[in-house]
């Protein structure tokens, strides 16, 4: 017997019986939804009972239930739903008097699209991302078509991500004064086109610097080492330099100190010894001062190096810059620049004093030579006078 | 002997005097001499700064799509990718031709601004001077690398501007265009810098 039950013939018979004995309602459920009709919320919506108008009267069901929202049925069998609200949505079916399904339709209610609120982000010169928000909640699925153009030029497609409601353009014509984005939203009740105008060079805003690292410098109780990487979305090319803004303060202080630098790393040399410091870095396009600063990198906390000994604290010796090669990289750090300037001034002054001294000595020499010559002349004159006196008249 | 003394003392004195400017101008810290490409990029940046100042000082909120100037250098065909593949000679020649075209436009603007006593006039004059200086520098560089000089396009300039408003709108349009041109040109000079060193 078990062998008989598992035979292919028996299995086929069981499958056929189970298929033929399925409730007829289930068959209707899978086949009945033949289309979707859209209607405006709050308005009267008419659902026709198919194209045939011969088999009236008809019976309407909503989701297999005879309970319907506020409605009337017209003489041709159409169902008119009055002042619809969300509860009127669902699968409508109309049957003839014998219970035979004549037509079914899915009703979705909502609003036609309204204008969109569009904004664009420009994380670098090769990418523009524009996103939008509906000004009207439509409750209906929508499709979007987006295009971008520079003033007076052709429209280029902006690739839409429908779920995130944004679109991307790669390699835009960046060096054009004004760009226009055109987004057309289409749903079952209509379509609406919104235009947005932008100056890409004013929207340029890099992503924040990455891999920001702040650490103490061993042996230096007032110094901090800060390094970072350019945002990975920024092109690594000479043509796209970035400027970085570093800010730091002792935790609890209201005032930030600042450093601007073109390169990483920098050394902070005026940290408050023994205090925890907050440090952040942000970036901006170095060329275009109309562009925007990136967001700040996450706040990092660091304490400058401290002597961990129990002996009496001693006066900290002044660190020798030559012993620490990394300090030379802090190009834009103001105190270091001042040191360089002071050294230059001293050398200049020494040279100048040497020149002055040489000039004075030469002048003295010249004056001395002239004086000697004058004395020599006077002696000669005296001698000639004596000679003249001694001459017989 | 007298003659000898006279001449030697004056020679010594003049030598010292001649040395004085050399000493005073000599920098104690040896500095890297800016290359010609550095000069070009610095001058472009300077021009861009002037343009931005003019735009800020005479802000004019116009959302009208600019259309007055049809003969400005075409910027819509330049993309960021192009900057990594620039060729030295054609780019220098093109930048020179573009600058000459801008020079014509700004001289025209200067002329109409004079008629309307535009307050931006002094800065505009300064800008044109700086532009001429950049053109000269660029031309010198072109001669050095033997880049050909292109025939500049004939500018098509608007006819009479009857109202102050037209002058303002025209100056805004020109300055906006020129700012972006300088942005591109500056980046182009940065990109070309290694290529110039390779040629020279």
Decide: A185 and B190 in contact? Cβ < 8 Å.
no
Mean pLDDT over A157-161 rounds to: 96
Per-residue burial over B6-37, b if 16 or more Cβ lie within 10 Å, else e, is: eeebeebeeebeeeeeeeeeeeeeeeeeeebb
Chain A interface mutation, best of B28, B68, B74, highest count of A Cβ atoms under 10 Å? B28
Peptide bond into A306 cis (omega under 30): no
Decide: A225 and A267 in contact? Cβ < 8 Å.
yes
**pLDDT tens for residues B21-58?**
444 444 444 556 678 889 999 999 999 999 999 888 87
3-class SS of residue A60: strand
pLDDT of residue A339: 44
Structure confidence at residue B148 as a pLDDT band (50, 70, 90): very high
Chain A interface mutation, best of B3, B31, B183, highest count of A Cβ atoms under 10 Å? B183
Residues in Cβ contact with B37 at an 8 Å cutoff, skipping those fewer than 6 apart: B141, B189, B192, B193, B196
Q: Among A5-9, A111-115, A186-190, B142-146, whose mean pLDDT is lowest?
A: A5-9
The tokens for B28 are 């104690």
Mean pLDDT over A148-176 rounds to: 92
Structure confidence at residue A390 as a pLDDT band (50, 70, 90): low
Inter-chain Cβ pairs, chain A and chain B, closer than 8 A: 111
Q: What percent of chain B has pLDDT over 70?
A: 74
The domain A27-110 having CATH identifier 1.20.140.10: the answer here is no
Strand partners of residue A130: A120, A167
CA angle, residues A365, A371, A372, in degrees to nearest 5: 90
CB atoms within 10 A of CB A250: 17
Kindly determine whether residue A348 and residue B28, on different chains, have CB atoms separated by under 8 Å.
Answer: yes
pLDDT of residue A265: 96
DSSP B135-192: HHHHHHHHHHHTPPPPPPPPP-------SHHHHHHHHHHHHHHHHHHHHHHHHHHHHH
Structure confidence at residue A4 as a pLDDT band (50, 70, 90): very low
Mean pLDDT of chain A: 81
Mean pLDDT over B175-198 rounds to: 91
Q: Which fold has domain A210-336?
A: Immunoglobulin-like (2.60.40)
Please give the biggest Cα pair distance in chain B: 86
pLDDT of residue A47: 93
Decide: A224 and A304 in contact? Cβ < 8 Å.
yes
- Which residues of chain B does A241 touch, with a Cβ-Cβ cutoff of 8 Å? 190
- Which residues of chain B does A288 touch, with a Cβ-Cβ cutoff of 8 Å? 183
Nearest residue to A196 via CA among A118, A124, A274, A269: A118
Structure confidence at residue A331 as a pLDDT band (50, 70, 90): very low
Kindly determine whether residue B5 and residue A373, on different chains, have CB atoms separated by under 8 Å.
Answer: yes
pLDDT of residue B6: 55
Interchain contact A64–B (C-beta under 8 A): no
Decide: B139 and B39 in contact? Cβ < 8 Å.
no
Mean pLDDT over A183-206 rounds to: 95
pLDDT of residue A184: 97
Kindly determine whether residue A177 and residue B191, on different chains, have CB atoms separated by under 8 Å.
Answer: no
Structure confidence at residue A50 as a pLDDT band (50, 70, 90): confident
Residue A65 gets which letter from DSSP? B
- The partner residue sitting opposite A351, judged by closest CB among B28, B48, B78, is B28
Residue A135 gets which letter from DSSP? S
pLDDT of residue A1: 40
The domain A116-203 having CATH identifier 3.40.50.10790: the answer here is no
* Closest chain A C-alpha to B116 CA, distance in angstroms: 26
Q: Report d(CA A217, CA A268) in Å as an integer.
A: 10
3-class SS of residue A115: coil
Residues in Cβ contact with A59 at an 8 Å cutoff, skipping those fewer than 6 apart: A66, A94, A95, A96, A97, A99
Q: Report d(CA A129, CA A123) in Å as an integer.
A: 8
Nearest residue to B172 via CA among B129, B103, B120, B101: B120
Domain annotation for chain B: domains and CATH numbers: 31-59+76-199 (1.20.1250.10)
pLDDT of residue A313: 37
Residue whose structure tokens are 């009055």:
A82
Query: Where are chain A's structural domains?
Result: 27-110, 116-203, 210-336
Structure confidence at residue A323 as a pLDDT band (50, 70, 90): very low
Please give the biggest Cα pair distance in chain A: 182
Helices (H) and strands (E) counted in chain A, each on its own, are 5, 21
Whether A132 has a pLDDT exceeding 80, the answer reads yes
Kindly determine whether residue A287 and residue B65, on different chains, have CB atoms separated by under 8 Å.
Answer: no
Q: Could you check whether A27-110 and A116-203 share the same CATH topology?
A: yes
Mean pLDDT over B79-88 rounds to: 89
Structure confidence at residue A207 as a pLDDT band (50, 70, 90): very high
CA angle, residues B84, B86, B92, in degrees to nearest 5: 140
Q: Please name the residue ranges forming H helices in chain B.
A: 2-25, 36-57, 88-115, 121-145, 164-199
Higher per-residue pLDDT: A274 or A308: A274
Chain B interface mutation, best of A128, A150, A170, A177, highest count of B Cβ atoms under 10 Å? A177
Nearest residue to B174 via CA among B66, B63, B98, B64: B66
Nearest residue in B to A365, CA atom: B9
* Closest chain B C-alpha to A349 CA, distance in angstroms: 9
Residue whose structure tokens are 């004159």:
A381
**pLDDT tens for residues A237-295?**
999 999 999 999 999 999 999 999 999 999 999 999 999 999 999 999 999 999 999 99
Residue A189 CA, distance from chain mean position: 35
Structure confidence at residue A343 as a pLDDT band (50, 70, 90): low
């Amino acid at each position: 017997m078990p062998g008989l039950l598992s035979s292919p013939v028996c299995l086929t018979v069981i499958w056929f019986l189970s298929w033929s004995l399925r409730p007829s309602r289930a068959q209707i459920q899978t086949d009945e939804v033949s289309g979707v009709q859209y209607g405006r919320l709050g308005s009267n919506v008419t659902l026709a009972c198919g194209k045939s108008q011969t088999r009236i009267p008809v019976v309407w069901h909503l989701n297999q239930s005879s309970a319907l929202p506020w409605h009337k049925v017209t003489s041709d069998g159409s169902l008119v739903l009055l002042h619809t609200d969300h509860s009127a949505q669902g699968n409508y079916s109309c049957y003839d008097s014998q219970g035979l399904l004549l037509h079914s339709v899915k009703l979705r209610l909502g609003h036609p699209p309204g204008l969109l609120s569009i904004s664009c982000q420009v994380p670098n010169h090769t990418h523009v991302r524009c996103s939008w928000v509906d000004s009207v909640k439509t409750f209906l699925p929508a499709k979007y078509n987006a295009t971008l153009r520079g003033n007076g030029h052709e429209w280029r497609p902006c690739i839409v991500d429908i779920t995130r409601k944004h679109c991307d353009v790669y390699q835009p014509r960046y060096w054009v004064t004004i760009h226009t984005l055109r987004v057309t939203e289409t749903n079952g009740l209509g379509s609406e086109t919104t235009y947005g105008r932008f100056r890409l060079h004013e929207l340029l805003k890099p992503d924040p610097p990455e891999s920001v690292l702040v650490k103490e410098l061993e042996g230096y109780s007032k110094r901090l080492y800060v390094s970072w990487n350019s945002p990975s979305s920024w092109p690594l090319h000479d043509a796209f330099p970035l400027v970085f803004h570093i800010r730091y303060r002792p935790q609890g202080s209201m005032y930030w100190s600042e450093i601007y630098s073109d390169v990483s790393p920098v050394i902070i040399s005026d940290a408050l010894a023994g205090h925890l410091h907050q440090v952040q870095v942000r970036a901006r396009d170095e060329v275009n001062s109309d562009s925007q600063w990136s967001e700040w990198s996450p706040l990092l906390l660091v304490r400058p190096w401290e002597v961990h000994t129990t002996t009496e604290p001693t006066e900290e010796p002044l660190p020798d810059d030559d012993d620490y090669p990394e300090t030379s990289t802090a190009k834009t750090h103001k105190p270091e620049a001042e040191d360089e300037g002071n050294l230059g001034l001293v050398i200049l002054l020494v040279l100048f004093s040497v020149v002055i001294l040489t000039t004075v000595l030469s002048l003295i020499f010249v004056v001395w030579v002239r004086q000697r010559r004058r004395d020599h002349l006077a002696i000669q004159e005296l001698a000639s006078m004596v000679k003249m006196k001694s001459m017989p008249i | 002997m007298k003659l000898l003394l006279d001449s030697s003392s004056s020679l010594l004195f003049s030598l010292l005097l001649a040395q004085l400017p050399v000493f005073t101008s000599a920098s104690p810290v040896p500095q890297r001499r800016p290359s010609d490409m550095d000069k070009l990029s610095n001058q472009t940046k300077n021009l861009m700064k002037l343009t931005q100042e003019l735009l800020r000082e005479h802000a004019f909120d116009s959302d009208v799509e600019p259309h007055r100037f049809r003969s400005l250098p075409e910027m819509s065909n330049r993309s960021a990718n192009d900057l990594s593949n620039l060729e030295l000679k054609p780019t220098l020649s093109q930048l020179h031709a573009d600058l000459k075209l801008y020079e014509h436009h700004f001289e025209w603007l200067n002329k109409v601004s004079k008629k309307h006593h535009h307050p931006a006039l002094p800065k505009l004059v300064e800008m044109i001077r700086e532009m001429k200086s950049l053109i000269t520098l660029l031309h010198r560089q072109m001669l050095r690398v033997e880049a050909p000089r292109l025939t500049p396009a004939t500018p098509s300039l608007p006819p009479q501007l009857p109202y102050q408003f037209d002058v303002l709108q025209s100056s805004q349009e020109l300055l906006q265009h020129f700012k972006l041109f300088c942005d591109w040109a500056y980046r182009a000079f940065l990109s070309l810098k290694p290529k110039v060193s390779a040629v020279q």
